[in-house]
Structure 1
């Protein structure tokens, strides 16, 4: 089995538990996810199977999208609903104009300190493991990028006001930290009361399948849940090679211009490409290489010989 699966993770499951369940279901060792989703959160969790695991590095950096609810006036030790309440400030009056001004500070490139309840490693241990032991470790701020942060609904007439928003962000962003930092800037504290990942690169929530749905399809020998490896590589330019060049590429040999099917024109060639057989089979991912004499070729980086 080789390919990608768009899994809809239930709240309460860890990303690792999803991988373990599918590994047992398919009786396959080579399987993994493309980025941890909090146990308390639901949503899109792309899974790579077989040779699909060889493209994880190209999926993990793609933007993520979330729908989140922030509750103001309450602080928790985990910055989410699963944590211990530290303090409350009931009746906080949330000014929409001030809220919008502060939200602007979270758009674009920002620095963010990973929360203690995160999967970041410190001396071989996950931070959340150290947090369970009651330890607090100094963490360095990381640069992340918030592409979009849009308000969907603001409920002000509550003891603890709530904000529902959509966030599009880069890899490594912790939405709970955005929430907690926003609460601190507003002077009232806040915790993330709800989170669902709505997209991870091209994987969308509306197309995701639960583990139960995947199991039912598997039992019926319906493998339509398995997406092709190149499903998530569509932003990489594609070239078709001549039939005579196919065995050379599968053997890891460079592809010269003469091996490309059709005219290549005089435009600058892309630095990184997908290489396909005339029949549409994905053969390899290749890097552009040139010589001092002006000659160039594509050197296969990852070859998919058994697809």
Structure 2
């Protein structure tokens, strides 16, 4: 009466590996092909990588958190074509005239809802091709912009090294935000070219790197399944709807259940909302709130509960 096998893994990804590299290593360790990740990390970034194994891969789409948190370093004095430390320098200028006050004023301008131009070296599609493919081929294209939300942005005091200034930062932002573009734009605000020097993902939704296991420790473990987490524990952004065995049987048979029959005391459900239905404190199924002949109902979408 639960997810049959697998669960969620929180891995602390080391620098130097792609997210796919980590997935492949976990697949080999667990001897399963059913492993996926909820949000990539660049090879030169470290930190939290959320993986789903076996049956839990079916909740991957719900584990892509709407809010993520990072720490890192911004480098003032040079801009690169990739907006991070791996790229080729395309502009440089002395950061010696830069002040902490100027940086803090720029940080305020980059907090809240902002327009962000997607980096040229990114995976977005431009005329049917990945942007990074066009960039590597030397083609110049107009990159799209998108609205993202920066919930919190803090930059520490400047540390000068010759013509360069470095500063640590922390940021909490909406999914889809490019942190290297944020560093690039911070430099533009203070009229000094800048790029992202390093990056570490600290959290994604309710998942935190403090609860993650290092990849090395996981791969060395004799009982790697002990690191599995119940998916429900990481789905904090969704309403949890506990149901009786009778209602669960109806839902798992594909029946719609009127919301009023749930007798909810503290959950005001909205039309088209996705909810997590639980039975005996375990994830039983994913449902969506729909309207049927003027009545709000729960429509089953993905069933996890198993008899026996």
TM-score, normalization by structure 2: 0.88
CA distance in 1, matches of 2:267, 2:78: 57
Unaligned runs of 5+ residues in structure 2 are none
Structure 1 residues 32 and 96: CA distance shift in structure 2, 3 A: same
Aligned-pair CA distance for 1:63: 0.7
Structure 1 residues 78 and 222: CA distance shift in structure 2, 3 A: closer
In the other structure, the counterpart of 1:40 is 44
Match of 1:122 among 121, 126, 131: 126
In the other structure, the counterpart of 2:214 is 210
Aligned-pair CA distance for 1:136: 3.0
Contact 1:110 1:143 in 2 (8 A): yes
Q: Provide, for residues 210-254 of structure 1, a one-character-per-residue CA deviation record: whole Å limited to 9, x for no partner.
A: 22211222xx22422111121221232222222223332222222
Aligned-pair CA distance for 1:266: 9.7
Q: How many pairs align?
A: 301
Q: Which is further off, 233-242 or 250-259?
A: 250-259
Structure 1 residues 141 and 267: CA distance shift in structure 2, 3 A: closer
Structure 1 residues 55 and 259: CA distance shift in structure 2, 3 A: same
Contact 1:257 1:297 in 2 (8 A): yes
Aligned-pair CA distance for 1:267: 7.6
Matched, 1:200 2:204: yes
Structure 1 residues 69 and 290: CA distance shift in structure 2, 3 A: same
Say which SS state the counterpart of residue 36 (structure 1) adopts.
coil
In the other structure, the counterpart of 1:93 is 97
Alignment RMSD: 2.4
In the other structure, the counterpart of 1:253 is 255
Aligned-pair CA distance for 1:158: 4.7
Unaligned runs of 5+ residues in structure 1 are none
CA distance in 1, matches of 2:27, 2:229: 17
Contact 2:35 2:53 in 1 (8 A): yes
CA distance in 2, matches of 1:119, 1:266: 41
CA distance in 2, matches of 1:254, 1:291: 9
Structure 1 residues 91 and 138: CA distance shift in structure 2, 3 A: closer
Structure 1 residues 39 and 222: CA distance shift in structure 2, 3 A: closer
CA distance in 2, matches of 1:26, 1:306: 23
Say which SS state the counterpart of residue 116 (structure 1) adopts.
coil
In the other structure, the counterpart of 1:65 is 69
CA distance in 1, matches of 2:227, 2:32: 16
Aligned-pair CA distance for 1:29: 2.4
Say which SS state the counterpart of residue 161 (structure 1) adopts.
strand
Contact 2:218 2:224 in 1 (8 A): no
